[in-house]
Amino acid sequence: MRVRARLVVFFVIAACGSVSAQDFSADPERMEERIHALGEFGKNAAGGVSRLAFSDADLAGREYIKELMQQAGLQVRVDTAGNIIGRREGSESGLAPIMFGSHIDSVPGGGNYDGDVGVIGAIEVAQLLHERGIVTKHPIEIVSFTDEEGGLTGSRGMIGKLGEGTLAVMSHSGMTIREGIARVGGDPDRLELAVRKPGDIAAFIELHIEQGAILHEAGVNIGVVEGIVGIRWWDVSVAGFANHAGTTPMDRRWDALVSAAELTLAINRVASELPGRQVATVGKIEAFPGAPNVIPGEVIMSLEIRDLEAEKMQHVFDLIQAEAGRIAGERSTPIQFTEIDVASPPAPTDVQMRRVIAAAAQDLGMSYEMMPSGAGHDAQDLASIAPAGMIFVPSLDGISHSPKEYTSAIDMANGATVLLKTVLAIDNGALE
């Protein structure tokens, strides 16, 4: 049986210099209503969203988020990397802000919860503080990062890792990242203005759906993330020879798609046979010229590798390259790997932060579990400049990057209440 958190929680906070007992908890109905409202932007027929970063749907969703931030009493701006930032000043001068948030862009054919819960949850926290007139000592900054699904673009911009190579990458929307950033109100020629250095942010916390089935299956309320996987992407090209599909005998073909198919199987085998949790995926494949009566002369496909250790990722890639060399030789179809400049390093979360999040869940009567994140998150970039932590809430049946993605209103609110308590604990020196 599932352990449910108490909906009303009492804890003590320091507000405007005085100490008072308050009841605080996130409002499940308000959060769910906002998730549904956000889901209207880019809604797809299957009940999820295709809100690709930089698309019209993304622009409309971003306007909705800016409105919610304003209603929560935040000063809203867009930084030069295209991130939406809502800020509220603190009561003590000279303190760095506590930042929390996530993203609202989706993958093609995505769901309504990935990223969205973290942004709506962060706004919920700001709104609760606003409604009760609580002023934290630190400034708070709520962030909705731009283009998370295209390679953590906004958070890379914030840590100063968005170079010309990345700006030239074609995003899911068909625009380059440079064009997309300009379209959402950023300025790709002045990215240095978006950069935060170590010390500029007191702490970063991201609330997110788990996107796996561990919490749901165990009936646990909260996941405390210990580390986030690193991610590397490559374009893989296989060169064959385009020829007539009717007149070319089977033993006289250099079929790029047959080699690509064999390579796809090899990639799956390499990642499956090694001990550990590494994963490798071919998620996109295109044959050229792409006609039923032409033997494919060229294939372009993607390769993605993830693991919690950078060395393991490299090892998997080395084994895949060796397999590619073998296949290319046997079938006389050269194979080339070009790494795309969107890599994110594996990132352990801050150890103190894990304790603060776990203590918040425990004090609120919620069950929790320590766990790794197999999905990439903006928090892994922020971890390089600030103590960073992540709060996971259950995903029904572990489904994500799908219209079937679902997290209940109570679970979303539980996560936001843990986020609120974590922010207040940090404001009161829990990381010092």
Cβ neighbours, 10 Å, residue 56: 13
Q: How far apart are CA 23 and CA 223, in angstroms?
A: 23
Count of residues engaged in binding ligand GLV, rule: CB under 6 A:
3
- If contact means CB under 5 to 8 A according to the sort of partner, which of ligand GLV, Mn ion, none does residue 376 touch? ligand GLV
- Residue 415 makes contact with ligand GLV by CB under 6 A: no
- If contact means CB under 5 to 8 A according to the sort of partner, which of Mn ion, ligand GLV, none does residue 343 touch? none
In the complex, what is the shortest distance from the CB of residue 151 to ligand GLV, in angstroms, rounded to a whole number? 9
Q: How far apart are CA 172 and CA 186, in angstroms?
A: 18
- Residue 206 makes contact with ligand GLV by CB under 6 A: no
Cβ proximity to ligand GLV: between 116 and 124 the closer is 116
In the complex, what is the shortest distance from the CB of residue 161 to ligand GLV, in angstroms, rounded to a whole number? 17
Residue of 141, 149, 350, 411 interacting with ligand GLV (CB under 6 A) = 149
Q: Calculate the alpha carbon distances from 186 to 167, 314, 409 in Å.
A: 12, 34, 33
Stretch of 54-62, 112-120, 124-132, 240-248 lying at the interface with Mn ion (CB under 5 A):
112-120
Give the chain's largest Cα–Cα span.
86
Cβ proximity to ligand GLV: between 90 and 180 the closer is 180
Q: How far apart are CA 356 and CA 363, in angstroms?
A: 10
- Residue 305 makes contact with ligand GLV by CB under 6 A: no
Residue of 48, 101, 115, 389 interacting with Mn ion (CB under 5 A) = 115
Stretch of 72-80, 111-119, 245-253, 306-314 lying at the interface with Mn ion (CB under 5 A):
111-119
Cβ proximity to ligand GLV: between 149 and 307 the closer is 149
- Residue 207 makes contact with ligand GLV by CB under 6 A: no
Q: How far apart are CA 134 and CA 162, in angstroms?
A: 36
Q: Is the Cα torsion angle 122, 1, 8, 361 positive or negative in sign?
A: negative
Residue 7: burial class (beta carbons within 10 Å; 0-12, 13-18, 19+)? middle
Residue of 140, 236, 375, 410 interacting with ligand GLV (CB under 6 A) = 375
- Residue 110 makes contact with ligand GLV by CB under 6 A: no
State which residue has the least CB distance to ligand GLV.
375
In the complex, what is the shortest distance from the CB of residue 431 to ligand GLV, in angstroms, rounded to a whole number? 26
Which three-class secondary structure string do you get for 272-289?
HHCCCCCEEECCCEEEEC
Cβ neighbours, 10 Å, residue 123: 26
Residue of 27, 114, 124, 147 interacting with Mn ion (CB under 5 A) = 114
Cβ proximity to ligand GLV: between 106 and 127 the closer is 106
Count of residues engaged in binding Mn ion, rule: CB under 5 A:
2
- Residue 212 makes contact with ligand GLV by CB under 6 A: no
Stretch of 69-77, 114-122, 198-206, 417-425 lying at the interface with Mn ion (CB under 5 A):
114-122
Q: How far apart are CA 190 and CA 79, in angstroms?
A: 10
- If contact means CB under 5 to 8 A according to the sort of partner, which of ligand GLV, Mn ion, none does residue 42 touch? none
- Residue 424 makes contact with ligand GLV by CB under 6 A: no
Residue of 376, 387, 403, 415 interacting with ligand GLV (CB under 6 A) = 376
Cβ proximity to ligand GLV: between 283 and 289 the closer is 283
Site residues, ligand GLV (CB under 6 A): 149, 375-376
Site residues, Mn ion (CB under 5 A): 114-115
